[in-house]
Chain A
Amino acid sequence: MEAYLIETVIKVVVVLLIFSALAGIGTYFERKVLAFMQRRLGPMYVGPYGLLQVAADGVKLFTKEDIIPTGVVAKIFKIAPVITAATAFMAAAAIPFLPQFEIFGYTVHPIIADVNIGILYVLGVMAIGLYGPLLGGMASANKYSLISAARSAAVFISYEVVTGLSILAPIMMVGSLSLVDFNNYQVENGWIVWSQPVAFILFWIAAFAETGRTPFHLIANDHEIIDGFGTEYSGMRWGLFFIGEYANMFFISFVIPLLFLGGFGDGSVMGALALLGKVAFFFFFFLWTRAAWPDVRPDQLMWLCWKVLMPIAVINVVITGIVMM
């Protein structure tokens, strides 16, 4: 009992530390990759290749005054960024980050809670993260923030259906909701992406809406509604929104390979490295799209999700059902 408790606490702390650090470094990667694609240099001056820019940004965010403007609903305004950051990390509890390995003769399962409904839990808790922009926008007493809040509600009701329906077909094939079972199924039967390419593409598109990345970055459209829900925020509260967003990007980059691309395979070292490679590719793809694609309008997103993606997902589920029978 004590060993289990200590192990869980250690795992929680490790995941928290690694991914909040990665979220910071993620901003550096994003700026460098965008700069490279747009023929700029990106951060250059602080440290070698601008690497210490992350630390400088962190110091700035932590030491900046935390301003609560008059006229806002103070309690909700304060709690909104925490919701985004906290739910992003809560979702990580059911993700198997690596295959199980032995350290000093003790077997470690790199998953915090091996619930048998992993994928539902991950997607459900990630979806709560959108309450952060919504509440922050509605509490801010600012027109642009309110528009951004309305858009986050619109995004939520559009992508949620597509995510659910698109993973339904793979779930029918595997017969389980656990991410570990998904991985083991793919070891025996080959990657799901070969038998479910449509579901893979749909889930990938919905992942962009879920994390609010560029083609669907309409929640906080920087050039249109200033900074959306973040307009009135300053200091670390504003930073928490970003930690949540980047942590979400990393976690969804873990979920996509686990669901469709074989995950960590048979549990060898190569499999673990391959998983990290796939994660890196999906994270890079988020940045690549940001450099390459314009944003869509809210009505275009709703049109896309409800009139194009949802029917395709339903047809995919029906065809999968017929083939399985």
Chain B
Amino acid sequence: MFEAIAFYLFAFLTISMFYITVTTNQALYALTALAAGMIFISVFFFILGADFLGAIQIIVYTGAVMALYAFGMMFFDTTRDVKEKQGNKFIIVGLSALSAVLVVLIFVAPIVSDNITALYPMTEGAGNTQEVGMVLFTKYLIPFEVAAVMLLVAMIAGIVLAGKKMDLSLTLMNDAQIRHIDEEKNKKVIS
């Protein structure tokens, strides 16, 4: 009974949070609703007994949305409404309803026709974390490693792009040195 109550409560909450994210034109509301929705999703993992994935969902998405906040802080005055082109509101509702129905159909179709079988059944005595580890390092080893390499490449690219003048620190220099750097820049602009 509690599972049913928790499921319907958090299903309602998650959907309303993401609805706010899409429809509001206040950047802070959108970001906060996105973070809340992402954290509410973890409840479904907990209900299904996948505690590890639930906790990972919380940890990963708090960090990820925190980075979005940083961008929001840089690009918007987050206390004011963003003026956006108002299209037809029914298009948003129609499209999201349509895609939701499609997603449900895609996932329900194999269940209805009984075509789903568990290839890697639960191992007796192994905890949640061990189960995830076993599947990751046997069946999904190659996708897992490829994803790791891609992330490494992205990280190195990020460091190379952002790493220019990393050894200079404005807080450690005195005023004369900073003025000197400014003059150097201005010279280049003039010439």
Contacts and interface: CB of A to CB of B under 8 A. Distances in A.
A144 to B, nearest CB: 14
Interface in B34-93: 35, 39, 51-52, 54-56, 58-59, 62-63, 66-67, 69-70, 72-73, 78-79
B191 to A, nearest CB: 33
Given A135-B28, A176-B127, A124 B55 contact: yes
Find the residue from A76, A117, A157 having the highest chain B CB count within 10 A. A117
A129 to B, nearest CB: 10
Interface in A111-129: 115-117, 120-121, 123-125, 127-128
Contacts of A177: 52, 129
A134 interface: yes
6 contacts: A73-B79, A79-B32, A117-B129, A138-B69, A153-B70, A157-B63
Given A73-B28, A139-B28, A153 B69 contact: yes
Contacts of A150: 70, 73
B62 A127 contact: yes
A131 interface: yes
A79 B35 CA distance: 14
B16 interface: no
Contact of A125 (B58, B63, B67): B58
Interface string B125-136: 001110000000
B26 A73 contact: yes
A39 interface: no
Given A73-B78, A153-B66, A116 B29 contact: no
Nearest to A79: B32
B115 interface: no
A156 B35 CA distance: 15
Interface of A: 71-73, 75-76, 79, 115-117, 120-121, 123-125, 127-128, 130-131, 134-135, 138-141, 146, 149-150, 153, 156-157, 160, 164, 176-177, 297, 299
B59 A153 contact: no
Nearest to B58: A124
A299 B59 CA distance: 24
Contacts of A160: 59, 63
B178 to A, nearest CB: 15
Given A124-B59, A150-B73, A131 B51 contact: no
A120 B55 contact: yes
Interface of B: 26, 28-29, 32, 35, 39, 51-52, 54-56, 58-59, 62-63, 66-67, 69-70, 72-73, 78-79, 127-129, 169, 171
Contact of B58 (A75, A128, A141, A146): A128
A299 B168 CA distance: 12
Contacts of B52: 117, 120, 177
Contacts of A127: 59, 62-63
Nearest to B46: A115
B51 A117 contact: yes
A73 B79 CA distance: 6
Contact of B169 (A125, A135, A299): A299
B127 A73 contact: no
Contacts of A71: 79
The 5 A-B residue pairs with the shortest CB-CB distance, nearest first, are A120-B55, A124-B59, A124-B58, A141-B79, A117-B51
Contacts of B128: 116-117
User: Which one of B56, B59, B128, B171 has the greatest number of beta carbons of chain A within 10 Å?
Assistant: B59
A282 B158 CA distance: 39
User: Could you say which of A73, A116, A164, A297 has the most chain B C-beta atoms within 10 Å of its C-beta?
Assistant: A73
B15 to A, nearest CB: 19
A178 to B, nearest CB: 8
A160 to B, nearest CB: 6
Contacts of B66: 130-131, 134, 153, 156-157
Contacts of B67: 153, 157
A159 to B, nearest CB: 11
Contacts of B79: 71-73, 138-141
